[in-house]
Amino acid sequence: MIKESPLFWPAHMKDGSLYVLDETLIPKKVHYIKVRNTQEAVKVIRDMKTRAFGQFLVVLNTFLLELQNGRALSKEKLIEKIKETAEALNNSRPTFPFSEVTSIIVGWAQKASAENLDLIPFVTKNIHGYLQGIRYRRLERVQKIAALIKDGDSILTHCNVSGELAMAAAICKDQEKQIHFFATETRPYLQGAKLTAWELQKMGAQVTLVADNAIGSLMADEMVNKVIVGSDRSCANGDFANKIGTYQIAVLAKEFEIPFYVLTQPSNKIKSGEDIPIEVRDPQELLNFSGKRIVAGEVKGFYPGFDVVPSDLITESIAIDVN
Amino acid sequence: MLTKKEKSVVLVQGVVKGSLFDLLKKRKTTDIVVLEGRPNLEAARQSTKDLAKRKLIPTLIADNMAGVLFYKNLVKEVWLSYQLTDENGALCDIGGLILAVLGKRHNIPVYIYPSGRKSKLLGVSGDILKFNGTRVAPAGVEGYVPLVEWVPQKYITKTYE
């Protein structure tokens, strides 16, 4: 039995509502936001209350919500509602491949309609089955990550890998492997400082926090021997997008001959990283922190949420098939 | 920013002497991007102040955001601050090595400019556990806070005295 991190499965249905872990409150508090419809789901995504794998869970569970909310609708109206839900989720944030997930659900609804199946139970059952499959595959990947990590490893990670790395760390601990993690703080939302440091510590792993600008020093001084990161979107040629800062880590890892591993969800919908839309967020999210301006005087800000890592910088992709 | 002209951005990293900005102003440089410079954000605060005196408005980015500007082919040149130098390289403010290696990968010139100050080699753990005065990391987590790093000569295009 693998010890589970709250970040591994940060959204779930309970009593007809969706509960989404508010990642912005960690490590101060573990709190779940109640989501009742598509509009509220889009808001938790846009406000970055959840991210990465959490978005995937929110998408699937939002369809469960809308199927439940649409019990009184005709089949045609329900399909229309499902398409509207897909459209709203697809437009929530640009980089994560929402449409690749929502199109699966729309496809099931259309199949149910075409084959005259009872739409709500058919799609609901498929979503539950799909979620179970993904859960199983992610747990398998946790074991793969644990096998990749060797006794004595010092691992650099960036942003947050949605529970999987921390759970692999717990397995390594049970196996009495001596390992150490360096987590980058990951400006501007500081997911490394808030989420990764928290969950690694909860899993009993040794973790040291570093600034995003310290990765070169760590590598040049041979303080890390592996890099493991997550990803938000993959391309047919093996390029991937992840939290801003991943590209420079990958370039430095190549320069210092440090193996660079990425957890991916392969997709051939996009040809190469050049085609991935990079989300540019409000610069105020960078220029202010906890309601306080970080720099006085006149200054502009630029906040790209993601960057792209070309496949030539990747040592190995540890993939799970989500299709 | 991502739609700017190719090779139009001048990146400035670390706490540099204000005279660098006279040089940039003389060259009519407009797209100056300043990295915030964790842990104390000193680079962002000092550079912004120095640029304001010269009526130049910089764009601030976090220390993890330079890579995407290189990837998008927007960077024209890089300026790193150094505290000392010899024939083998320079002791630069932390983060300099990242930009130097990115410069090498993308064939972008990397210039080093005096900092005019000497900082400690290492900060204290607590420096990184807070941001802008607010505690962000969970209790019990340690931080490692190098404040300077060595940038080998092979990455440096030109040293300014």
Same domain (yes/no): A32, A177: no
Report if residue A168 sits inside a domain: yes
Same domain (yes/no): A103, A147: no
Terminal C-alpha separation, chain B: 31
Same domain (yes/no): A151, A294: yes
Q: Which of residues 29-58 of B touch A (CB under 8 A)?
A: 33-39, 41, 44-45, 48-49, 52, 57-58
Taking an 8 Å cut-off on Cβ atoms, the answer to whether B137 and A297 are in contact is no
| Residue B57 CB coordination number (10 Å) | 13
- Using CB atoms, pick whichever of A255, A302, A307 lies closest to residue B101: A255
**Confidence check: pLDDT of B38 > 80:** yes
**Confidence check: pLDDT of B45 > 80:** yes
Report if residue A64 sits inside a domain: yes
Taking an 8 Å cut-off on Cβ atoms, the answer to whether B60 and A299 are in contact is yes
Same domain (yes/no): A275, A212: yes
| Residue A12 CB coordination number (10 Å) | 14
Residue B106, domain extent: 9-120
ipTM: 0.98
B95 touches chain A (CB under 8 A): yes
Across A59-63, A127-131, A200-204, B4-8, least confident range: B4-8
- Using CB atoms, pick whichever of A220, A287, A290 lies closest to residue B97: A220
pLDDT at A183 (0 to 100): 98
**Confidence check: pLDDT of A30 > 90:** yes
Taking an 8 Å cut-off on Cβ atoms, the answer to whether B98 and A252 are in contact is yes
Nearest CA in chain A to B61: A302
pLDDT at A36 (0 to 100): 96
Distance from CA of B48 to the nearest CA of A (A): 7
| Residue A273 CB coordination number (10 Å) | 22
B15 touches chain A (CB under 8 A): no
Report if residue B155 sits inside a domain: no
Report if residue A3 sits inside a domain: no
Same domain (yes/no): A260, A306: yes
pLDDT at A141 (0 to 100): 97
pLDDT at A322 (0 to 100): 65
Taking an 8 Å cut-off on Cβ atoms, the answer to whether A302 and B142 are in contact is no
Same domain (yes/no): A49, A79: yes
- Closest C-alpha to A191, from A60, A285, A272: A285
Same domain (yes/no): A185, A267: yes
pLDDT in tens, A278-295: 999 999 999 999 999 999
Tell me the CA distances in angstroms from A23 to A12, A45, B130, one per residue in order: 14, 11, 18
**Confidence check: pLDDT of A245 > 90:** yes
Task: Confirm if A19 and A35 have CB atoms less than 8 A apart.
Answer: yes
**Confidence check: pLDDT of A268 > 70:** yes
- Using CB atoms, pick whichever of A184, A208, A295 lies closest to residue B41: A295
Query: Which residues are within 8 A (CB) of A132 and not within 5 positions of it... i.e. 6 or more apart?
Result: none
How many Å apart are CA B146 and CA B143, to the nearest integer? Answer: 10
Nearest CA in chain B to A308: B68
Q: Which of residues 60-79 of B touch A (CB under 8 A)?
A: 60-68, 70-71
pLDDT at A323 (0 to 100): 62
Binned at pLDDT 50, 70 and 90, residue A305 comes out as very high
Mutate which of A213, A249, A280 to test chain B, going by most B C-beta atoms within 10 A?
A213
Percent above pLDDT 70 for chain A? 99
Rg (CA), chain A: 20
- Closest C-alpha to A131, from A52, A37, A231, A58: A58
- Cis peptide before A266, with omega less than 30 degrees from 0? no
Report if residue B36 sits inside a domain: yes
Taking an 8 Å cut-off on Cβ atoms, the answer to whether A220 and B149 are in contact is yes
- 3-state DSSP helix/strand/coil percent for chain B, to nearest 5? 25, 30, 40
Taking an 8 Å cut-off on Cβ atoms, the answer to whether B1 and A304 are in contact is yes
Taking an 8 Å cut-off on Cβ atoms, the answer to whether B2 and A278 are in contact is yes
Number of structural domains found in chain A: 2
Chosen domain end from A122, A137, A152? A137
Report if residue B130 sits inside a domain: no
pLDDT at B3 (0 to 100): 80
Residue A294, domain extent: 141-319
**Confidence check: pLDDT of A298 > 80:** yes
Chosen domain end from A85, A119, A137? A137
Report if residue A215 sits inside a domain: yes
**Confidence check: pLDDT of B5 > 90:** no
B8 touches chain A (CB under 8 A): no
Residues of A with CB below 8 A from B130's CB?
Answer: none
Residues of B with CB below 8 A from A214's CB?
Answer: 94-95, 144-146
Same domain (yes/no): A163, A110: no
Q: Establish, for the pair of chains A and B, how many residue pairs have beta carbons separated by less than 8 Å.
A: 191
Tell me the CA distances in angstroms from A49 to A11, A44, A232, one per residue in order: 11, 5, 16
Q: Which of A232, A239, A275, A312 is catalytic?
A: A232
B145 touches chain A (CB under 8 A): yes
Taking an 8 Å cut-off on Cβ atoms, the answer to whether A212 and B52 are in contact is no
Residue B96's CATH number: 3.40.50.10470
**Confidence check: pLDDT of A53 > 70:** yes
Residues of B with CB below 8 A from A193's CB?
Answer: 128-129, 131, 136-137
The SS3 call for residue B85 is: strand
Binned at pLDDT 50, 70 and 90, residue A238 comes out as very high
Report if residue A5 sits inside a domain: no
Binned at pLDDT 50, 70 and 90, residue A34 comes out as very high
Report if residue B35 sits inside a domain: yes
Report if residue B45 sits inside a domain: yes
Task: Confirm if A42 and A89 have CB atoms less than 8 A apart.
Answer: yes
How many Å apart are CA B115 and CA B12, to the nearest integer? Answer: 12
pLDDT at B30 (0 to 100): 86
Report if residue A1 sits inside a domain: no
Report if residue A121 sits inside a domain: yes
B26 touches chain A (CB under 8 A): no
Nearest CA in chain B to A278: B2
Distance from CA of A183 to the nearest CA of B (A): 9
Number of structural domains found in chain B: 1
pLDDT in tens, A131-176: 999 999 999 999 999 999 999 999 999 999 999 999 999 999 999 9
Report if residue B15 sits inside a domain: yes
Q: How far is CA A26 from the centre of its chain?
A: 16
Q: Is A232 noted as a catalytic residue in this protein?
A: yes
Residue A52's CATH number: 1.20.120.420
How many Å apart are CA A88 and CA A67, to the nearest integer? Answer: 15
Taking an 8 Å cut-off on Cβ atoms, the answer to whether A220 and B71 are in contact is no
Same domain (yes/no): A281, A314: yes
Average pLDDT along chain B: 96
**Confidence check: pLDDT of B26 > 90:** yes
pLDDT in tens, B70-89: 999 999 999 999 999 999 99
Q: Which two tokens stand for residue A255?
A: 């320069």
Find the mean pLDDT for residues A236-264: 98
Average pLDDT along chain A: 96
In sign, the C-alpha dihedral spanning A223, A226, A231, A234 is positive
What's the angle, vertex CA A184, arms to CA A179 and CA A186, rounded to 5?
Answer: 150
pLDDT at B59 (0 to 100): 97
Find the mean pLDDT for residues A80-85: 98
Distance from CA of A137 to the nearest CA of B (A): 30
